[in-house]
Structure 1
Amino acid sequence: MNREMYLKELIESKYGTVRNFSEQIGVPYTTIRSIIERGVLNAKMQNIINICVGLGITPEQLYDFEDSIVANISKIAARLNADRQQVVYNFTKQQYNEQNNVIEFPTPTRTQVSVYGAVSAGTGEYLLDGTPELVDYDGAVPEHDFAVVVNGDSMEPTFEDKQIIFVKKNNEARNGQFVIADYDHQAFVKKFMRDEHGARLVSLNKKYPDMLIDEDHELSIFGVVVF
Structure 2
Amino acid sequence: MFSEIRLKERRLAIGLSQVDISNQLEINRSSYCSWESGRAKPNQKNLIALAKVLDVDVAYFESEYNIVNNFLQLTTANQQKAEEYVEELLQSQQSNKVIQLFPVPVLSDIALSAGLGEAQFDEYETEIVYSAAEQYGYDIAAWIEGDSMNPVYKSGEVALIRTNGFDYDGAVYALSWNDSVYIKQLYREETGFRMVSLNEDYPDKFIPYEDEPRIVGLVVSHFMPVVGR
Structure having greater relative contact order (Cα 8 Å, sep ≥ 6): 2
For Structure 1 versus Structure 2, the TM-score category normalised by the shorter chain is: 0.3 to 0.5
